[in-house]
Structure 1
Amino acid sequence: MIRLMLRSGLTICLEKVSALNLYRMAWSALICETEAWKELESHVEDIKKTHLRELMSDEDRCMAMMVESEGMLLDYSRQCATVDTINKLFSLAEAAHLKEKISRMFNGERINSTENRSVLHVALRAPRDAVINCDGKNVVPDVWQVLDKIRDFSDMVRSGAWIGVTGKPLKDVIAVGIGGSFLGPLFVHTALQTDPEAAECAKGRQLHFLANVDPIDVARNLVGLNPETTLVVVVSKTFTTAETMLNARTLREWISSSLGPEAVAKHMVAVSTNLTLVEKFGIDPNNAFAFWDWVGGRYSVCSAVGALPLSLQYGFSVVEKFLTGASGIDQHFHSAPFVKNIPVCSR
């Protein structure tokens, strides 16, 4: 048995010499071993001697460091880099087989090696007629089934067809989640508040996000809210996230103590895949909105995690425009050459 210490400090036991040979092959393929990396590493020492003021005086350089697509303009000229620097970075991306990796993601391959999962947030905003496969199945119809359900439910709530247990319309929404179930939706909510169309659609409505388990923060979020006119959206894939479920139980008590336990079914809905625990909690499983294990938390804003609370606040038509814009950038990312590719250049 050969014991080999990796640079990371981890110890691997290799039982066969052939395994050691495989390891050596993998090690030699690391990006830091490529010529592109070494050239860039050497270039760094030169660029350190150059002041940004000097670089900004070069008009051709500045124009070369602007990329526009889908109404978005990326200007990265205020980075301490020359056109040669950028070209070397593109060479590094090619050495890392970035183009092939992008295609693998869109093809539904399991590029999340730590969890052995596909990474298909691009399917969450794909057109209805798109085909994006995961394990041999086109997942786009499943996505649109959930989106259609969000459209129908949010339309009912916003129109007053869905009312609270006392007969009053639900004008206020509290989205309970943490991490990716909170930050992305809050970010989009903040942006939409300054959009004229979205602001008009949101008149008379309030959207709150509750992630902090501090009871003071919970109380602050409830100031001015009436359980009779409030809908709570509990966001937890497994419905076991400790912080989220603590806040969910607190809000369940807030509703039931005022309106009775039966009010939970009309005033609380879920974004989850664990229908058993959703029902056990007191939420009607028919009012649960699904998402999938190929949705990474930090990319989940385009799933029901973000689409449901945002549709309740702004209407599905506004959210659909957001999804369409995201899909446009996805296609740009997939097809544009690196030199004109906003996601690639902005990284």
Structure 2
Amino acid sequence: MYSSAHSLMQRVYTPLNALEEHAEHLQAQSLSDLIGGDSAAAVQRSNNLAFTLGSLHLDLSKQRISPKTLSLLVDWAHSCGVESKRKALFAGEKVNTSERRSALHMAARWPAHATPPKGMEAAVSFCQHQRARLTAMVERLHQGEWFGASGQKITDVVHIGVGGSDLGPKMISEALADRPSHAYINVHYVSSMDGAQLLPLMERLDPATTLLVLASKSFTTADTQFNVRTALTWLSDALEIDVPTVCRCQLIGVSSKPDKMTEFGIPDAHQLVFKDWIGGRFSLWTPIGVSVAMQLGMASFNALLDGAHAMDRHFLETPLDENLPALMALVGAWNCQFLGISTHAVLPYDGRLKSLPAYLQQLEMESNGKSVCLDGRSVTHATCPIIWGDVGPNAQHAFYQLLHQGGHTISADFVAVAGRDVDAVPDVRDALAAQEQLTLANCLAQAQLFALGDDAIPKALRGHMAQGYRGNQPNSLLMLKQLDAWGLGALVALYEHKVFVQSVLWNLNPFDQPGVELGKKLATSLFNTLTGSDNEQDLVKDASTQQLLRKVGEWRQQSRQYSPHIS
């Protein structure tokens, strides 16, 4: 009898079981109950769920949580050892257990004047050495001292990468280089393996003044290799200069494999290196960001690193109940694991952040989109939600109808910018200011409507407009004072640390990605089949794929018959 009662007590007071029971209770309480009106309790709750770090503000008051929820979530984080694992992360311990590596992307943004945590010193020293090399390359380019193979000054940079070697730098470039007058040099991004992004650049850029940046951690990614070889062939043919000479003059390599860069023909002076203890999707801060620095200048690139470092220090030093990344992680885990919300929208209300949803898709889903724990056991609950989204004002005219009145429950992050400095004539400046206010008003209104549903309809309009706004959709609002390099760095680092905390809660390794490898291997076999060099032993056959291969062959045969010049 005692044993059964004792087991029941243990079950009830386990943090996970306490959260499950609390979730059942809270399901009956709507967000309208939590935030509606202007009662003292609602005001106090909203104030307690708002957090600011520098120019970044996080509002969690439209989440389906109470003070008790947060307390239980923090207890859960304590029981999972978040603090000790956070310390291990910054100390350079091998937290990437499957690959037996550290995960020290924070070292790439650690400033020279700040003492790093014990265990990170060597990593910081290496990263600062590479940053000095990067700075020298950037200054050489900006001073007009980088000449192509034919002796002309470089005017354009084509950044060739994919995944983590593309999404982060591209997002930063789009967000911060909103006006050509602020850019030192033109930068263009190429990632698609089909050549669709590369072909228009080859048609309009001057090959004599174009510099290629080959960004690839492994230096073996097929997408990147095919793109760079095509680009080098274009430069060589157009300039009538052999490929090795073009490589020596108009190619920078960024990789964790310097030997492979040398073998490819990239001179040591044009190589930038980061170590394999920085994952691709965490590599924005490393020399992978060289194209951002070339475009915006070192002052902006260093400000980006400073913002991220400020978030690092906050994450490392702040108690969990006031820690922005930890709170974001806990609330996100609460939504998907305990409230059963399997999809999460990222909705930036600034067109400059149009690539933020795609960047966070990779960061979150490639990190925590897993169903096997660190100990090899299967996960028995939901982990990472499906991440998706679009620029908010555009999304309002696309899929918000379903979100407001359809049958799906989602969670969301609204991302807003409070203000924007514009250097323009007074009338244009006033017109743009009005547009900014309209955009911000839409962001706040949509977040309110997501939360309150029909209760957001003003009394004067009730009975005069359609009902059926489902409401009760939990959402967070992240607001930047302005969209500058410091704030953007802090925002991205916030999401990085959120991913790490959730991996601890779910007992996952967020720093490997075994799920992407098999598809690449199957693609290699099918590529060999399509190019006529197939090895039957390597090809996995199924009826569906076989009929598609036959159709491709049939159409190609027809093309050859009607176009004899096609080989």
- 1:162 equivalent in structure 2: 146
Contact 1:34 1:95 in 2 (8 A): no
CA deviation after TM superposition for structure 1 residue 76, in Å: 1.3
- 2:25 equivalent in structure 1: 46
One-letter amino acid matched to 1:102: R
Q: 2:212 aligns with which of 222, 232, 236?
A: 232
Q: Which runs of 5+ in 2 are unaligned?
A: 1-10, 37-41, 330-567
- 2:74 equivalent in structure 1: 90
Describe the SS at the equivalent of 1:127: coil
- 1:123 equivalent in structure 2: 107
CA displacement 1:276-324 (0-9 Å, x = unmatched): 3223322212211000011011110001111x11111111111011111
Alignment of 1:76-225 (within 5 A): 76-129=60-113, 130-132=115-117, 134=119, 138-194=122-178, 200-202=181-183, 205-225=185-205
One-letter amino acid matched to 1:186: K
| Cα separation, partners in 2 of 1:343 and 1:272, compared to 1, 3 Å | same
Describe the SS at the equivalent of 1:112: coil
TM-score (norm 2): 0.53
Separation of aligned partners in 2, 1:202 and 1:170: 14
Task: After the TM superposition, list the runs of 4 or more consecutive aligned residues in structure 1 that deviate by more than 6 angstroms.
Answer: none
- 2:486 equivalent in structure 1: none
Separation of aligned partners in 1, 2:18 and 2:327: 19
- 1:322 equivalent in structure 2: 304
CA deviation after TM superposition for structure 1 residue 133, in Å: 5.3
One-letter amino acid matched to 2:263: K
Contact 1:311 1:318 in 2 (8 A): yes
CA displacement 1:17-43 (0-9 Å, x = unmatched): xxxxxxxxxxxxxxx998111100111
- 2:275 equivalent in structure 1: 292
Q: 2:319 aligns with which of 324, 329, 337?
A: 337
Separation of aligned partners in 2, 1:239 and 1:33: 52
In our comparison, the structure showing a higher alpha carbon Rg is 2
Contact 2:232 2:246 in 1 (8 A): no
CA deviation after TM superposition for structure 1 residue 213, in Å: 0.9
- 2:54 equivalent in structure 1: 70
Are 1:312 and 2:294 matched, yes or no? yes
Describe the SS at the equivalent of 1:111: coil
CA deviation after TM superposition for structure 1 residue 332, in Å: 0.4
One-letter amino acid matched to 2:18: E
CA deviation after TM superposition for structure 1 residue 49, in Å: 1.1
Describe the SS at the equivalent of 2:197: helix
Separation of aligned partners in 2, 1:169 and 1:242: 30
Separation of aligned partners in 2, 1:208 and 1:60: 48
Separation of aligned partners in 2, 1:237 and 1:158: 26
| Cα separation, partners in 2 of 1:118 and 1:243, compared to 1, 3 Å | same
Q: How much is the aligned-residue C-alpha RMSD, in angstroms?
A: 1.9
Separation of aligned partners in 1, 2:45 and 2:111: 37
Contact 2:138 2:297 in 1 (8 A): yes
| Cα separation, partners in 2 of 1:82 and 1:128, compared to 1, 3 Å | same
Separation of aligned partners in 1, 2:163 and 2:302: 23
One-letter amino acid matched to 1:281: F
Contact 2:169 2:292 in 1 (8 A): yes
- 2:452 equivalent in structure 1: none
Contact 1:210 1:221 in 2 (8 A): no
Q: Which runs of 5+ in 1 are unaligned?
A: 1-31
Separation of aligned partners in 2, 1:210 and 1:79: 38
Separation of aligned partners in 1, 2:145 and 2:33: 63
CA deviation after TM superposition for structure 1 residue 60, in Å: 1.2
CA deviation after TM superposition for structure 1 residue 255, in Å: 1.1
Q: How many residues align?
A: 310
One-letter amino acid matched to 2:286: S
- 2:250 equivalent in structure 1: 267
One-letter amino acid matched to 1:44: A
Contact 2:104 2:123 in 1 (8 A): no
Contact 2:105 2:277 in 1 (8 A): yes
Separation of aligned partners in 2, 1:216 and 1:323: 32
Contact 2:96 2:102 in 1 (8 A): yes
Report the more deviating stretch, 212-221 or 224-233: 212-221
Contact 1:175 1:235 in 2 (8 A): yes
| Cα separation, partners in 2 of 1:201 and 1:328, compared to 1, 3 Å | same
Q: Percent identity at matched positions?
A: 29
Contact 1:273 1:292 in 2 (8 A): yes
Separation of aligned partners in 1, 2:46 and 2:204: 51
| Cα separation, partners in 2 of 1:138 and 1:276, compared to 1, 3 Å | closer
Separation of aligned partners in 2, 1:116 and 1:68: 36
